[in-house]
Structure 1
Amino acid sequence: MRRAKITIVGAGNVGATCAHWCAAAELGDIVLLDIPQAGDMPKGKALDLMQSSPIFGFDSTVIGTSDYAETAGSDVVVITAGLPRKPGMSRDDLLATNAKIMTAVCEEVKTTSPEAVIIVVSNPLDAMVQRALQVTGFPPQRVIGQAGVLDTARYRTFLAMELGVSVEDICALLMGGHGDTMVPLPSCTTVGGIPVTQLIEPARLEEIVDRTRKGGAEIVGLLKTGSAYYAPAGATAQMVEAIVRDKKRLLPCAAYCDKEYGVGGYYVGVPVVLGTGGVERIVELKLTDSESAAFQNSVAAVKELVSAMAKLV
């Protein structure tokens, strides 16, 4: 059997670190791609990563390129390409710029890797994954947004820190859009099987949830000159693993919901089963009244974002 072929578009911190995690786990052979203006940078990062293979004992090959021809026939394409928001740049500016980048990338991907599963990491996430679907015309099951795995990981980290327990014992779930309207589900959060509501007072739990919502901004504030990349890349690698190894993981991802949850044709964070085919099914939960109201509020924010993008592109 051949190894899976994984293309990562964007060789910045998130893309290169995702390549690192994927190679170390031997998830497949990796192509790290960036724009021609980046010069030999992706080749340098790929070679550096390959030279760590004897140390960590992986046999995955890693190549760097700016030529989409070298990505042909990829099983999974991870898209991290896009600009971060900069001082003086409006939300609409970011939407317009990254939508153009997403369009250009997806025009290439649909030609070179027509059977691939696409994982979108670029922000604003909920709009960018919608754009990827529009441009590629792929079945929506093969176009997925990475956000829920990252947000849930942050939530689990903060809960473990609060309780002084292993992160392995924290089982949690977040839904909705990627940002301030994300929806934690206390009804689906347990610590070693114990409902979190029995261990943390509601007011303190809400503080932890709020920190989760602002998790990316907190790191930006600490770094000063960049944004998070270890956890976003790790979350993406976990999704890649679920797909290439057909693990049937139940993970929160930005998936295309039509009839599910009454969303009506938009991408939003929901629990899904991930396997070789991408999103193999969406799991519909019975939400409490407060959770359902918060989820619908988050869906409304996603719709507003997508509408704004449509006017700009």
Structure 2
Amino acid sequence: MARRVAIIGTGWVGSSVAISTLQLGVADELLLYDARTEVAEGEAMDLAQGSSFYPGATVRTASIEEMIDADAVVIAAGRNGKPGESRLALLRDNAILARELGARLSAARGVIVVVTNPVDVLTRVVLEASGLPPARVIGTGTMLDTARLREALGRALDLDPRSVHAQVVGEHGDSEVVLWSGVQIGGVPLAQWPGWSADRESSLANEVRTAAYEIIKRKGATNHAIGLVTATLLRTVLRGERRVLTVSRWHEGASGVRDVALSMPTIVGSGGAELVLEPAMVPQERERLEHSAQVLRDAYASVRDA
């Protein structure tokens, strides 16, 4: 059966998700929608003309109603952050749109992937508006923060980032939590790595936390890395890989946090975000995670009736 992926929003992020999805060979058919009809048409034409250079797929525009039957629908619509603006500051501008899209996708048969920031709160908004099962409404969450952490540690240790096993959990934003106690390289705890000092943790965590601000300050938006993150998440779902990823989904208490959508290590497969795992944490990490959860609960409460 042909794998169909749909993307709502073809701005900086949506277009990067599109090209990354095509290059990874995730979709046989890629559907694009944007409120700016001509922009979506232009993106579809541009991407289709590169078909000689990625695995076979067709690209075309579609209505949101046509996307109901897709295997996965990516929500990348909404405005980007401004220089110096936190992700939560975007909330009021993007929550109304997310609620509308969630309602229109209530009959979706596949997985909904939320990329628009603030991704954790909007994942909850889309979930509640759509009425779909929690496992099928997934935010990209801290997959990007985790990738940034592994890249930063790889650079610091002169290692390929793929050899660094580290995770960021909680909010995709200022209250995110780096699980330093669980970082390993080839089974060796980071604390035991030759020459490593825990004094470096604070600066590296800050580098990861502020990475988007630094990029936005320079080029106006972040798009390439999140495009790769989203395409990888789509591949994991559509191929049923059952890979552990730090995605955002609704939590009802099984992972030690409840009544919030945030990122935890989660087994992702054909059913979506199927099983949330609870990694070992030191007390300070657990406290920071609960703080992050409360930040997100408060943010959602501020727009519950928006």
TM-score using structure 2 length: 0.93
Match of 2:274 among 257, 275, 280: 280
Deviation at 1:298, TM superposition (A): 0.9
* Residues 7-37 of structure 1, C-alpha deviations (whole Å, 9 max, x = no match): 11110111111111111122111111101xx
Whichever residue aligns with residue 289 of structure 1, its letter is P
Match of 2:217 among 218, 221, 241: 221
Aligned: 1:206 with 2:202: yes
Question: Hey, what does 2:298 align to over in structure 1?
Answer: 304
Whichever residue aligns with residue 6 of structure 2, its letter is T
Deviation at 1:46, TM superposition (A): 1.4
Question: Hey, what does 2:43 align to over in structure 1?
Answer: 45
Whichever residue aligns with residue 260 of structure 1, its letter is A
Aligned: 1:195 with 2:189: yes
Deviation at 1:118, TM superposition (A): 0.8
CA distance in structure 1 between the partners assigned to 2:87 and 2:224 by the alignment: 25
CA distance in structure 2 between the partners assigned to 1:150 and 1:85 by the alignment: 16
Following superposition of structure 1 onto structure 2, how do residues 175-194 of structure 1 map, counting pairs within 5 Å? 175-194=169-188
Question: Hey, what does 2:106 align to over in structure 1?
Answer: 110
* Residues 37-71 of structure 1, C-alpha deviations (whole Å, 9 max, x = no match): x1321121112112112133x11111124x22332
* Residues 122-142 of structure 1, C-alpha deviations (whole Å, 9 max, x = no match): 111121111001100001111
- The answer to whether the 8 A contact 1:176-1:268 is kept is yes
Question: Hey, what does 2:132 align to over in structure 1?
Answer: 138
Residues 91, 230 of structure 1: alpha-carbon distance in 2 compared, 3 angstrom cutoff: closer
- The answer to whether the 8 A contact 1:44-1:64 is kept is no
Deviation at 1:91, TM superposition (A): 8.1
Following superposition of structure 1 onto structure 2, how do residues 24-35 of structure 1 map, counting pairs within 5 Å? 24-28=23-27, 29-35=29-35
Aligned: 1:173 with 2:175: no
Whichever residue aligns with residue 62 of structure 1, its letter is V
Question: Hey, what does 2:265 align to over in structure 1?
Answer: 271
Cα root mean square deviation, aligned? 1.9
Number of residue equivalences: 303
Question: Hey, what does 2:148 align to over in structure 1?
Answer: 154
Identify unmatched segments of 5+ residues in structure 1: none
- The answer to whether the 8 A contact 2:243-2:269 is kept is yes
Deviation at 1:86, TM superposition (A): 4.4
Identify unmatched segments of 5+ residues in structure 2: none
CA distance in structure 2 between the partners assigned to 1:271 and 1:150 by the alignment: 13
- The answer to whether the 8 A contact 2:256-2:278 is kept is no
Whichever residue aligns with residue 33 of structure 2, its letter is L
Deviation at 1:307, TM superposition (A): 1.1
- The answer to whether the 8 A contact 1:174-1:183 is kept is yes
* Residues 78-127 of structure 1, C-alpha deviations (whole Å, 9 max, x = no match): 1011112448999887322211111222222224xx21211111111121
Aligned: 1:17 with 2:21: no
How many percent identity over aligned positions? 29
CA distance in structure 1 between the partners assigned to 2:13 and 2:143 by the alignment: 15
Match of 1:64 among 61, 84, 91: 61
Bigger drift between 47-56 and 92-101 goes to 92-101
CA distance in structure 2 between the partners assigned to 1:61 and 1:9 by the alignment: 17
Aligned: 1:249 with 2:248: no
CA distance in structure 1 between the partners assigned to 2:212 and 2:89 by the alignment: 20
CA distance in structure 1 between the partners assigned to 2:128 and 2:206 by the alignment: 33
- The answer to whether the 8 A contact 2:16-2:224 is kept is yes
- The answer to whether the 8 A contact 1:27-1:60 is kept is no
CA distance in structure 2 between the partners assigned to 1:218 and 1:44 by the alignment: 29
CA distance in structure 2 between the partners assigned to 1:222 and 1:179 by the alignment: 19
CA distance in structure 2 between the partners assigned to 1:277 and 1:270 by the alignment: 17
Deviation at 1:73, TM superposition (A): 0.4
TM-score using structure 1 length: 0.91
Aligned: 1:163 with 2:157: yes
CA distance in structure 2 between the partners assigned to 1:215 and 1:12 by the alignment: 20
Following superposition of structure 1 onto structure 2, how do residues 89-104 of structure 1 map, counting pairs within 5 Å? 94-104=90-100
* Residues 202-256 of structure 1, C-alpha deviations (whole Å, 9 max, x = no match): 1112211111011111111222xx1110111111111101100000010101121
